[in-house]
Chain A
Amino acid sequence: MATKTFTGNSWLSILASKKDLPWLTIWIAGLGVLWIWDALFLNAPAFARLQIAFLNSLFTGVMVVLFSLVLGWFVGVSLHMLEHSKSKVGFAVISFVTDILRSIPQIITVLIGYVVLTILLHNGIIRSSFVQMLWIAGIIAIAVFLEVADTIRQRIDYFRTLDFVDAMLCCGIKERRIINVEILWKNSRSHMLHKLIAIFGISIFLQCSIDFIISVGLSTDVSLINFPMTLGNLLANVDSKQDILALSNLFTEPGYLPVIFVRHLQGLSVAFCIVFSLLCIYMIANGFVRRHKLA
């Protein structure tokens, strides 16, 4: 019979049919295995640092997603409304600002944000780690929120090509309801969620990249030590760098391999956490696109 073969309801087939969930499972399971291994073999202070770094990176990533969603939604909808309004001044101003932002590489925007953060730290305006993380999330969000704003505008523009918007307008339904509820909430959640998963991945990548760049120090008084512990921060730490360098021993001494997983755990664990998380987030985002047929 040349028909579909998926008829079973086993959890495995359900998981496979979801396409993105297998990679979410792999991610969580991989991190779980790493946590158990580190609990057994990594020294206690390093293990504590690793856990804090992971949680801080996770928290910052989630905050980047939230800030990007709010900023992107606001800017995307505002641009659309202003574009169709009588006066084009507001549209021109916001377009100009966003285009400037678009023209600057994301890493530069984040670096500028870190410089400002350094000044604030230097002057004692910001002290708590929590506020520092919110600031870091905010500046990364400024660098990436246009991705959300663009998705929002694309979705609105697509629905404008159909009778969808006009038919509701003619019935007296307010335009802001049509855009925010009918188009974005009811018809674009999957598109937005996909974009937010990607932004979460980008935020982890940007955090690590910038932490590495500033590991040389931003001023004589402010260096990585002043910033909250994150995965990038921990990887840029000299102990972790040495652990990574230890891998080169394997070329001359292959028998050193088992020792690596016990003696150089901090650097390897951080590197694994970053690379493995980025890979899984990438695969989750791709699976999400396939599951919801977004492409």
Chain B
Amino acid sequence: MNERKYNIRISSEGRELVAIDDFRLAKSAITVLLGESGIGKSLILLAIAGLIDPDELDVQIDGKPYAAYLRSQEAIDIRRNGFFVFQEPSSHLNPLATLRAQLREGSLAKTHDEERILRKLWQNSTSSDIESILDVYPKPYRPSGGEKQRILAAMAFKKMAASAELEDSTFIFDEPTGNLDNRLRNEFLDLLIENFRDRTATIVLITHDYSIISRFASTYPAVSMRILYRELMLERGKLHLRDFLPGEYLSWLEKRNAAVRTAKKTETILRLHPDIEIFGRTLSISRDKEGCNLEPLVIRKGAVTYLKAPSGTGKTTIVKLMMGLIKPEKMLMELGSAVYTEKTNRNAWARGVWGKQMTMVFQHADESLNQNSKVKDVFSGLPIAGPMNERTIANSISELFEEEPSRDFLNTKVKYLSGGQKQRLNLLRSLILHTDILILDEPLNGLDFASAAKVITKIEMKLQSGIGVLVISHNEEIFDTLVAADDIYYLHSWSPNCTMPDTSKR
């Protein structure tokens, strides 16, 4: 396969951000670029796409100044014939133009495939639904993250159609499915393969979603020869790119699926009644996807409870109110012998729940951790019996890190860690506690495969110790291997079409 090899150095105010000698990009192929977050994947591809401002960062490509690279035919072609879908869609869209206008801007106006692409990305939506979204401005009307992401994907697919005749065009998708549920993600992948199959485009797909591997393997075996999986890794402070064999993930998953999971009838620790009112909305919980038969959400000893719902339904809201962090208009939660309602004072959670009965891992490690803390100080102030000296902290950290951390690492400020390292610390801070219940909100966010596997093993160890776990995660393929069917719940914003059940018997 024809490959272009890059030597890339990126620094800011004398501090090296990225340095890699062997970044390879396969031409006329799909490269699925994996690796933990914050390691430099986006930055490397932004540099290749010629999208870094030379006044902001010092960039060298193949030993030459960035300005020279930007003048090269290669960089000009990538910008002219290709497309870059940014991870944060808001940063890409112009707040002063309607989505429709942006979808038809410049060379995108030439293609006539728009309706088909939009229909596919807005599966099951009527034309009028799509039309109404296209007429809004990104800022004041705030389309959802998923809608913005699909608009950007539609732009990229339109550009792909416009560049169909060209031999060399490069399309980079940076976490294009981060805000999409599994169904919409699959629609996106179908469209990607459909556009790629008979063409010579070079596509890079940056993702942490390893279930894309199963999707490609099961649905598109014919194109699998043209799909490469590569993982960007940081080893002993040095970045390098390794080939990731899909079998690594698939066989791990297969092994996990082979284990029989049955719902053990263990003791109930928490029961959250299914009709909840918050922010003027009614949220309900059921075991059926449709949400017509409401049931209390139960967390049991030694079991994982999995709460599923499309993005934006309110999963994080539910767990925050269970933790007493936000005040609902109506709720009833039984935790052990105590009852918590909308009238319960926040101090009750502070006295008896936080760090004692329950703890929670928030989904954004960047916000949850103190960026100005040293690694060892992340564990300061936790309600743990016995001393937390450097030795015990190092031992705990080594459970989710490759090797025992050095003293230098323990004294490194959190802000200098990669996103994946931050997420592992974020998890460890709660895993180290001895609570009855552990709530995990997107625990595999930003992790590479090896770290994700370690986290799953660690959760299993906690389960064996009798802890109850509540999980919210879009990594359904992975967490489905950990949860019994009876312990899966669905969250709904209450729909008047369904009959609310009689909850008076509760």
Interface of A with B (CB < 8 Å)? 1-4, 6-7, 84, 86, 162-164, 166-175, 177-178, 181-182, 186-187
Interface residues on B, range: 35 or more
Q: Interface code B375-389, partner A: CB below 8 Å = 1, 0 otherwise? A: 000001111000000
A-B contact count (CB 8 A): 87
Given contacts A163-B367, A166-B320, A171 and B359 within 8 Å (CB-CB)? yes
Q: Give bound CA distance, A84 to B325, whole Å.
A: 12
Residue contacts A-B, CB under 8 angstroms, 21 given: A1-B67, A2-B66, A3-B58, A3-B67, A163-B362, A163-B364, A164-B367, A166-B320, A167-B368, A169-B325, A169-B350, A170-B354, A170-B362, A171-B430, A171-B433, A172-B356, A173-B355, A173-B382, A175-B350, A182-B373, A186-B373
Q: Give bound CA distance, A86 to B344, whole Å.
A: 11
> Which residues on the A side are within 8 Å of B369 (C-beta)?
167
CB of B347 within 8 A of CB of A172, answer: no
Out of A7, A168, A187, name the residue touching B14 (CB < 8 Å). A7
Given contacts A171-B429, A172-B359, A164 and B368 within 8 Å (CB-CB)? yes
Q: Give bound CA distance, A173 to B65, whole Å.
A: 48
CB of A169 within 8 A of CB of B354, answer: yes
Q: Interface code B413-445, partner A: CB below 8 Å = 1, 0 otherwise? A: 000000000000010011001000000000000
Closest CB in chain A relative to B214 CB, distance in Å: 31
CB of A173 within 8 A of CB of B368, answer: no
Whether a CB of chain A sits under 8 angstroms from the CB of B360 is yes
Interface of B with A (CB < 8 Å)? 13-14, 54-55, 58-59, 65-67, 320, 323, 325, 345-347, 350, 354-356, 358-362, 364, 367-373, 380-383, 426, 429-430, 433
Pairs A-B, 10 closest by C-beta atoms: A172-B355, A167-B368, A172-B383, A1-B65, A163-B367, A173-B381, A2-B54, A170-B360, A162-B367, A3-B58
> Which residues on the A side are within 8 Å of B364 (C-beta)?
163
CB of A170 within 8 A of CB of B359, answer: yes
> Which residues on the B side are within 8 Å of A6 (C-beta)?
13
CB of B55 within 8 A of CB of A2, answer: yes
Q: Which of chain A's residues has its CB closest to B374's CB?
A: A186
Q: Give bound CA distance, A168 to B353, whole Å.
A: 13
Output the residue of A172, A175, A182 with the most chain B CB within 10 A.
A172
CB of B67 within 8 A of CB of A174, answer: no
> Which residues on the B side are within 8 Å of A170 (C-beta)?
323, 325, 354-355, 358-360, 362, 430
> Which residues on the A side are within 8 Å of B372 (C-beta)?
186-187
Given contacts A163-B368, A166-B362, A170-B430, 9 further A-B contacts (CB under 8 A): A2-B55, A2-B67, A4-B13, A167-B360, A170-B360, A170-B362, A171-B359, A172-B433, A182-B370
Out of B59, B67, B355, name the residue touching A171 (CB < 8 Å). B355
CB of A187 within 8 A of CB of B370, answer: yes
CB of B65 within 8 A of CB of A2, answer: yes
Closest CB in chain A relative to B158 CB, distance in Å: 32
Given contacts A164-B370, A186-B372, A177 and B381 within 8 Å (CB-CB)? yes
> Which residues on the A side are within 8 Å of B55 (C-beta)?
2
Q: Which of chain B's residues has its CB closest to A176's CB?
A: B381
Out of A7, A86, A174, A187, name the residue touching B347 (CB < 8 Å). A86
> Which residues on the B side are within 8 Å of A175 (C-beta)?
350
> Which residues on the A side are within 8 Å of B323 (C-beta)?
166, 170
Q: Which of chain B's residues has its CB closest to A7's CB?
A: B14
CB of A3 within 8 A of CB of B59, answer: yes
Closest CB in chain B relative to A164 CB, distance in Å: 6
Q: Give bound CA distance, A99 to B26, whole Å.
A: 66
> Which residues on the A side are within 8 Å of B381 (C-beta)?
168, 173-174, 177-178, 181
> Which residues on the A side are within 8 Å of B360 (C-beta)?
167, 170
Q: Give bound CA distance, A1 to B163, whole Å.
A: 32
Out of A3, A166, A186, name the residue touching B66 (CB < 8 Å). A3
> Which residues on the B side are within 8 Å of A166 (C-beta)?
320, 323, 325, 362
Q: Give bound CA distance, A168 to B361, whole Å.
A: 10
> Which residues on the B side are within 8 Å of A7 (C-beta)?
14
Q: Give bound CA distance, A162 to B325, whole Å.
A: 12
> Which residues on the B side are within 8 Å of A182 (C-beta)?
370, 373
> Which residues on the A side are within 8 Å of B362 (C-beta)?
163, 166-167, 170
Out of A1, A163, A171, A177, name the residue touching B354 (CB < 8 Å). A171
Output the residue of A1, A3, A6, A174 with the most chain B CB within 10 A.
A3
> Which residues on the B side are within 8 Å of A181 (C-beta)?
380-381
Closest CB in chain A relative to B327 CB, distance in Å: 12
Closest CB in chain A relative to B370 CB, distance in Å: 5
Q: Which of chain A's residues has its CB closest to B429's CB?
A: A171
Q: Give bound CA distance, A86 to B354, whole Å.
A: 18
> Which residues on the A side are within 8 Å of B354 (C-beta)?
169-172
